[in-house]
Amino acid sequence: MISVIGAGPAGSFYASRESHDSVHLFEEHQTCGEPIACTGILTDSVQQFTAIPQELIVSKIKQFKMIAPDGKAMYVDLNKTNMVLDRAKFDQFILQKAIDKGVNLHLGEKFLGYKKEGKEYRIKTSKKTYQTNMIVGADGPFSPVAKAAGILGKREYVKGWQARCRFPSLEEGVTEVHLNLGEFSWVVPEDDKVARVGVIGVDDRKLKEDYKKLLGASKILEDQSGFIPMYNPKQQLRRKKEDIFLIGDAATQVKATTYGGIIYGMIAGDYLAKDKETYIKNVNKKLAKDLWISLKMREMMNHMSEKEANEMVQIFQKKSNNDVLAKHDRNFPSKFMVQLLMKEAKLWKLGFDIFKNKLSSQVFSK
Ligand SMILES: Cc1cc2nc3c(=O)[nH]c(=O)nc-3n(C[C@H](O)[C@H](O)[C@H](O)COP(=O)(O)OP(=O)(O)OC[C@H]3O[C@@H](n4cnc5c(N)ncnc54)[C@H](O)[C@@H]3O)c2cc1C
């Protein structure tokens, strides 16, 4: 038996791909996908795993509007639209795939801990105990599985304060990103009246101030705030050589630029389901570089002065740079960072030169 803890996108997607004949999925909530703590923006890359049914899509984003601290704005026309999803329905949709595959679903059953018994484990939930061969922690930022296995590591968190709001003056199909509030902040329209509005940060006092500024005269309909783990490059993904694994937020697989984690959790789940023995190698080979670049970009942006942030927006206003952003999926910056660095020397001055060795020693050593 394989025990998967957490029916978020990472856990359900893993369960839908795992071919073992006895997979049990434990979710502490009675309803999967709720409460919502997410904006639900996904790029087109999700379609490599599953076509997204129309009824899950609340709106489509065609443009990003980046607003610099000096108030000047720059638009990125996305070559492929982003989807704003009904996050609860999306989680239920992925869960249905796991159910179709034959997973045994335990809703309203909380993982409490485990004991090792020979080569197996005895897990304890809020209802029963189970003998199991493998435990997959897909249980979110604070991962009780990681804690119980002693592999939570030294992770840090940011807070995402978000609400669904009735918002005055929305541009339909345009996501606003404000660089002067929090680490960054966003207004994502559902239609011309309602938006998902949020700000990211660590300091409560500053968050409160910035959130108030961002919300302005809007009317809060629903609070959707939550915690997000910072990617930790040293995060253990497996307890030693045992059969206890972590995926998704539980494994800090979140890109730190815009704090999106849905796609990464699904990719990690896919790798683990394909072969647990190559899971870590595949994550290191195919995801770690993008996660690392995003982390470094976030550190850089957090240390930028307002003047530098204004300059960065100006640099990306330039058509040739703007085109690179428009064309590529922001989840995978390793695919375009070299191009940007080669096109735009001004980025080096802003600190982007830290990527040159890591990304392409061949290109840059000449
Ligand atoms: C404000 C905000 C906005 C965001 N916006 C985006 C966005 O637009 N796009 C994007 O890609 N990402 C976004 N994210 C991040 C995204 O929500 C996460 O990366 C994603 O949910 C991770 O999926 P997961 O399956 O790993 O974990 P989760 O979605 O957290 O699922 C974990 C599941 O485990 C369950 N669980 C926890 N403990 C136990 C236990 N002891 N027993 C049983 N079950 C348990 C939980 O109930 C939960 O259902 C946002 C996050 C926040 C806070």
Question: Do 7 and 116 belong together in one domain?
Answer: yes
Residue 326 in any domain: the answer is yes
User: 107 pLDDT exceeds 60?
Assistant: yes
The closest alpha carbon to 264, from 224, 300, 294, 301, belongs to 294
Residue 48 in any domain: the answer is no
Question: Do 190 and 220 belong together in one domain?
Answer: yes
User: 337 pLDDT exceeds 80?
Assistant: no
Question: Do 275 and 358 belong together in one domain?
Answer: no
Question: Do 130 and 273 belong together in one domain?
Answer: yes
The closest alpha carbon to 127, from 13, 265, 27, 252, belongs to 27
Question: Do 144 and 169 belong together in one domain?
Answer: no
pLDDT-derived band at 333, boundaries 50, 70, 90:
confident
pLDDT-derived band at 360, boundaries 50, 70, 90:
low
Question: Do 175 and 277 belong together in one domain?
Answer: no
Percentage of the chain exceeding pLDDT 70: 96
Residue 45 in any domain: the answer is no
Ligand 1 binding site (Cβ under 6 Å of any ligand atom): 5-11, 26-29, 37-41, 110-111, 138-140, 144, 160, 162, 198, 225-226, 228, 248-250, 254, 259-262, 265
Question: Do 127 and 78 belong together in one domain?
Answer: no
Residue 41 in any domain: the answer is no
Amino acid at 22: S
Report the 10 Å Cβ neighbour count for 117.
10
User: 299 pLDDT exceeds 80?
Assistant: yes
pLDDT for res 359:
58
Of 16, 24, 29, 249, best ligand 1 pocket probe by most atoms within 8 Å of the beta carbon:
249
Q: Spell out the residues 6+ positions from residue 79 whose beta carbon is closer than 8 angstroms to its own.
A: 326, 327
Picking from 180, 204, 229, the residue at the C-terminal end of a domain is 229
Dmax (CA) of the chain: 63
User: 349 pLDDT exceeds 90?
Assistant: no
Q: What pairing do the DSSP bridges indicate for beta strands 120-125 and 111-117?
A: antiparallel
Question: Do 28 and 105 belong together in one domain?
Answer: yes
How many domains would you assign to the chain? 3
Query: Which residue range forms the structural domain that includes residue 299?
Result: 292-365
- Report the C-alpha gap between 228 and 261 in whole angstroms: 9
- For residue 199, CA distances in Å to 83, 111, 196 come to 20, 31, 10
User: 79 pLDDT exceeds 80?
Assistant: yes
pLDDT tens for each residue of 232-248: 999 999 999 899 999 99
The mean pLDDT value for 8-29 works out to: 97
Question: Do 121 and 21 belong together in one domain?
Answer: yes
Cα-to-centroid distance, 254 and ligand 1 (Å): 10
pLDDT for res 207:
95
Cα-to-centroid distance, 82 and ligand 1 (Å): 19
Question: Do 116 and 187 belong together in one domain?
Answer: no
pLDDT-derived band at 361, boundaries 50, 70, 90:
very low
Residue 46 in any domain: the answer is no
Task: Return the CATH number at 110.
Answer: 3.50.50.60
pLDDT for res 203:
94
Return the residue whose CA atom lies nearest to atom 2 of ligand 1: 38
Question: Do 309 and 210 belong together in one domain?
Answer: no
Residue 126 in any domain: the answer is yes
Cα-to-centroid distance, 228 and ligand 1 (Å): 8
The model's pTM: 0.94
Picking from 249, 272, 287, the residue at the C-terminal end of a domain is 287
Q: Spell out the residues 6+ positions from residue 36 whose beta carbon is closer than 8 angstroms to its own.
A: 87, 88, 222, 224
Question: Do 106 and 9 belong together in one domain?
Answer: yes
Residue 91 in any domain: the answer is yes
Nearest-10 crossing angle of helices 262-274, 9-17: 30
Task: Return the CATH number at 221.
Answer: 3.30.9.10
Residue 54 in any domain: the answer is no
Backbone φ, ψ for residue 314 (5° rounding): -60, -40
